[in-house]
Chain A
């Protein structure tokens, strides 16, 4: 019995460590890529670590970079748990940011605290709309949400390019020939408060608190239970009287809302204006995709996503140093993130196999116990043995 418990603990531990192995494998391939490109991988990883953690400022930047990843990752936890694949974080973040920025520009004289609160709410709602549309299309028309959310990303990017270079452009830029696509700076009163004298802002704290909220939502509320039930078995949920379509819409809507909030926080906490460089990821910095990577690495658990976002935030900040010190373009991080996604979802097969094994063993054990109930003393002895 004791040995069986131990093997169960080992097996669960292996499950928890799978994503770590996946990241190590991705890093190993990354090292090979660096060698082929003529860079010393040890030097490169050293530069990366120093860039991410080397000073208080570096550490603060890592947390700032991790904040949108965490928020988007929280949304991904909700939707993926509901078996809805939301790839639309990029677009949802853009729409949330656009709406929050528009509000901030429209009412520059409002009190700071009021505006910040309202801007967060508006960003949240903007993302919810942009996620809710593909959600409704999936629930009521059967449109594949992966494809529709990707298209919604592209539409949001064009909308942003149009607005930032046109109706919402910074009056200073409008007069210049260069016409950088950016809005005017928001009123200083609207800047998210700084936590310590670095670039670290209140958004990081909001994100961490929301991680706990999402955990409670998913595991302690009826809504969360329904979303997860639909994610595990649609037919069974339907028989149990759950409105499956409604949960699908809600899962995508909520998922989008967190991405929208990430957009609002990015504007009010970091840039203080909305700015892009004309490329698709000019505003988001690919946070919509990297948030998926972080959530998968955090095993789609809101609390697990906190350290996961921190890790990928560190990779992104470290990548800048990598570019300066060993002349390796930061694009290497995008490729690495792709490998992490591939390895994490591929490694799931071992978890599934162990789970099946555990289940068959448990049934077998139960059958044996029914035939020969173990003496009560043995059980207490085991409890002690484990602790």
Chain B
């Protein structure tokens, strides 16, 4: 039965769904990369994703417009990001703990709204794969890379954009300066608070989008706690990728491929208990963290609040 895994159709299926499943990781982890690069650890990603997933699903379901759903997810994520920014920048709250608070808030609120406003598990017809002339027709490659929905393409474009912003623009330079040495950035006239507000709110919006990619593009349902730790894994991926967008993408792909393999193992009835298959990404995260902390250094000011005149 293990042999079933090694047919062409199955391998193409595993790779194609691996590319697709990386989408939520990418949006959330790239957003988190921005906020951590500026020195803020946003642990509320999971909660922001849940709120985003619900907003996207509910608005799409009631209005019939996926685009309005997407917009709702982004706005709700931005608002959650704004709250996180205020708490960690102005009130200088311990980021590890306040993030858990935002997680619980998002978990409870999305569940509450789901039960009050939907009541039962419904489905929407989410974003469909887009046919790209010529590219989609290439055998194997076309099926793996160019038969995906718009949010998948968007996620990979976002990685390139994030690399460009962080490394080739002034705002990228400011973000990195604020995350490495806020005092120096401040003395050069950069507003530490403004830069951090920007990155944390951006991260919130992207987390909302990550939630939407689950509820209206990949799974097309909303269920309570549907992210099941995905947002926390995304935070770990930022460490794993050493705060660099392309390396973060590499980590996201590694995880989504493991996830995809795990799903196919279940589909093909290969006798590995599904509980252990589901467990794999979490075990892998811990191993990945052990390996990476040895060679990369986090931004110096990560989790450290900044106050002028100290």
| Chain A interface residues (CB < 8 Å from chain B) | 33, 37, 85, 87, 137, 141-144, 146-148, 150-155, 158-159, 161-162, 165-166, 279-280, 289, 292-293, 296, 328-329, 331-342, 345-349
Contacts and interface: CB of A to CB of B under 8 A. Distances in A.
Contacts of A289: 100, 104
Interface SS of A by simple majority: helix
Contacts of A345: 87, 93-94, 97-98, 101
A346 B87 contact: yes
Interface stretch (B17-25, B69-77, B184-192, B284-292): B284-292
Contact of B112 (A147, A331, A347): A331
Nearest to B239: A144
A330 to B, nearest CB: 9
B289 A329 contact: no
B240 to A, nearest CB: 10
Contact of B94 (A158, A334, A337, A348): A348
A332 B112 contact: yes
Interface in B64-109: 83, 87, 91-94, 96-98, 100-109
Interface SS of B by simple majority: helix
B293 A141 contact: yes
Given A151-B236, A338-B47, A341-B101, A162 B273 contact: yes
A341 B83 CA distance: 14
Contacts of B282: 151-152, 154-155, 158
A289 B232 CA distance: 15
B30 interface: no
Nearest to B95: A345
Contact of A155 (B83, B235, B283): B283
For the complex of A and B, 4 pairs with smallest distance between CB atoms? A334-B108, A335-B108, A338-B105, A341-B101
B279 A158 contact: yes
A199 B89 CA distance: 46
Given A33-B112, A85-B97, A341-B98, 16 more contacts: A144-B293, A147-B239, A147-B285, A150-B232, A158-B279, A161-B275, A279-B225, A289-B100, A331-B112, A335-B109, A337-B104, A337-B108, A338-B103, A338-B104, A339-B105, A342-B83
A166 B101 contact: no
B91 to A, nearest CB: 4
B279 A155 contact: yes
A245 to B, nearest CB: 15
Contacts of A148: 286, 289
A154 B227 CA distance: 12
Contacts of A146: 43, 96
B232 to A, nearest CB: 5
A322 to B, nearest CB: 11
A280 B283 CA distance: 16
Given A150-B229, A335-B109, A142 B94 contact: no
A131 to B, nearest CB: 14
B7 interface: no
A335 B105 contact: yes
Nearest to B47: A338
Contacts of B92: 349
Contacts of A329: 111-112, 115-116
A355 to B, nearest CB: 14
A336 B112 CA distance: 11
Contacts of B150: none
B224 interface: yes
Contacts of A141: 290, 293-294
A182 to B, nearest CB: 15
B105 A346 contact: no
A212 to B, nearest CB: 26
A338 B106 contact: yes
A293 B104 CA distance: 10
A166 B273 contact: yes
A87 B290 CA distance: 18
Contacts of A332: 108, 112
Contacts of B91: 346-347, 349
16 contacts: A137-B286, A137-B290, A144-B293, A152-B282, A154-B282, A158-B278, A331-B224, A334-B111, A335-B104, A335-B109, A338-B105, A338-B109, A339-B101, A341-B101, A342-B83, A342-B93
A109 B224 CA distance: 42
Contact of A143 (B87, B103, B286): B286
B108 A158 contact: no
Given A141-B290, A151-B236, A280-B228, A338 B273 contact: no
B87 A159 contact: no
A109 B112 CA distance: 46
Contacts of B228: 154, 280
